[in-house]
Amino acid sequence: MTTSAQSDGANTFNNTSGESFSAEKYFATQPPPPSLEQDVARVKDFLQKQLQERRKVVLVTSGGTTVPLELNVVRFLDNFSAGTRGATSAEYFLKAGYAVIFMHRQFSLQPFSRHYSHSTHPFLDFLDINEPSGSSAPSFGDIAVRPEERAQLLEVLSTYKAVQRAGTLLTLTFVTVNDYLWLLRAVSQEMSLLGRNCLYYLAAAVSDFFLPRQKMSVHKIQSGKGSLHIEMDQVPKILKPLVAEWTREGFIVSFKLETDEDLLVPKARQALARYGHQVVIGNELHRRKFEVVFVSPKSASPPSASPALSTEIAEPPSADYEETWLTIDLEQNPEKEIEEDIVAELVRRHARWIDNATRNV
């Protein structure tokens, strides 16, 4: 991105296309996960159904990714994420009438079942065994839900069953950052056929670093040889080809998690300038349950008439961006989930995005 004083052809080429090339190089050198073809087939079926039923579709990515250090994986680098943001948001998107492709890290939280975490709200604790009391009772003890848990469970369960009947939730699973990258590329390429009717909600905590397969140790790294040195390569910036190639018309929302609040807005702007997408939601690690900031290019609402332009935003000055802070008061309303407001805001923005494109045709 820095323009060098000497106008050396080769250097310029490296500077402007290095990142895009490195995504290509990534997929050319790292093997796809074995389940990819099967997953893509499920995505195709799901999208056909949603197209026929004229539903908007959101891809929600959720949970952390792992970076295996060994081919026979024992150790890996991981990113902290229980998957709360993604699982909660998926429920609100479903409520808003979207179909949801929920692409999540194995064992991270999922919509609906998230209310019954084995650690914090184990479901075995709200089941009772009623001893048989008379001759008309079944011959063994009967299982019943405790009265105090009944109302919430009934609500969660009936929404869950309604979603299953409607066929509006598709769950895909990844573990490694490699699984994630391959899956994201394949799903977004399929979703592009929906044009502006698709939204990307990229809430997964994706590793910035990876260990190429070619550099991995085949067996478990042996300890007892002093300290451990790991040298990793950078994961390609996947937003670049996502915006520019795989899904040109989708409304794309990415996330920035920082522990230094001062970095939030500058890093969000930087990402928008670099990749040319629609929104970055910034969240600080310790405030993320009650405060986020939406950062977006001012030109994007209303967007320019030419869809091609949005893929080629240069690095504009900070006046070209706007921030919207979204805060909830958890003391006043402890049950409130900030994802409800995040999703409501995005549904509005996405509708405007679709609307503007239609008016400009």
Contact residues: a second copy, CB under 8 A: 66, 70, 72-80, 82, 106-107, 109-110, 112-113, 116, 118-119, 122-124, 127, 129, 140-141, 143, 145, 150, 153-154, 156-158, 160-161, 173, 205, 207-209, 218-220, 223-224, 226-234, 257-260, 285-286
By C-beta, is 248 or 267 nearer to a second copy?
267
Closer CB to a second copy, 157 or 330, in the complex = 157
Q: Are 326 and 336 a contacting pair, CB within 8 Å?
A: no
Distance CA 247, CA 58 (A): 13
- How far apart are alpha carbons 179 and 296 in whole angstroms? 29
Contact criterion met (CB below 8 Å) for 69 and 221: yes
Nearer CB in complex with a second copy: 153/326: 153
Instruction: Find the shortest distance in angstroms from Cβ 348 to a second copy.
Output: 30
CB of 194 to a second copy, least distance (A): 28
Nearer to a second copy, 226 or 317 (CB): 226
Least distance in angstroms from the C-beta of 195 to a second copy:
32
Q: Which is nearer to a second copy, 44 or 209 (CB)?
A: 209
Residue of 254, 65, 44, 23 whose CA lies nearest to 174: 65
CB of 85 to a second copy, least distance (A): 14
CB of 80 to a second copy, least distance (A): 5
Whole-number Cα distances in Å, 277 to 17, 198, 298, 313? 18, 13, 12, 9
Q: Which is nearer to a second copy, 37 or 125 (CB)?
A: 125
As a residue count, the chain comes to: 361
Residue 222: partners with Cβ closer than 8 Å, 6 or more residues away: none
Q: In what order do the strands lie in the sheet with 57-62?
A: 169-174, 99-105, 57-62, 198-202, 251-258, 279-284, 291-297, 321-327
* Minimum separation from the CB atom of position 204 to a second copy (A): 13
| Radius of gyration of the chain from its Cα atoms, rounded to whole angstroms | 23
**Alpha-carbon distance 31 to 215, whole Å?**
13
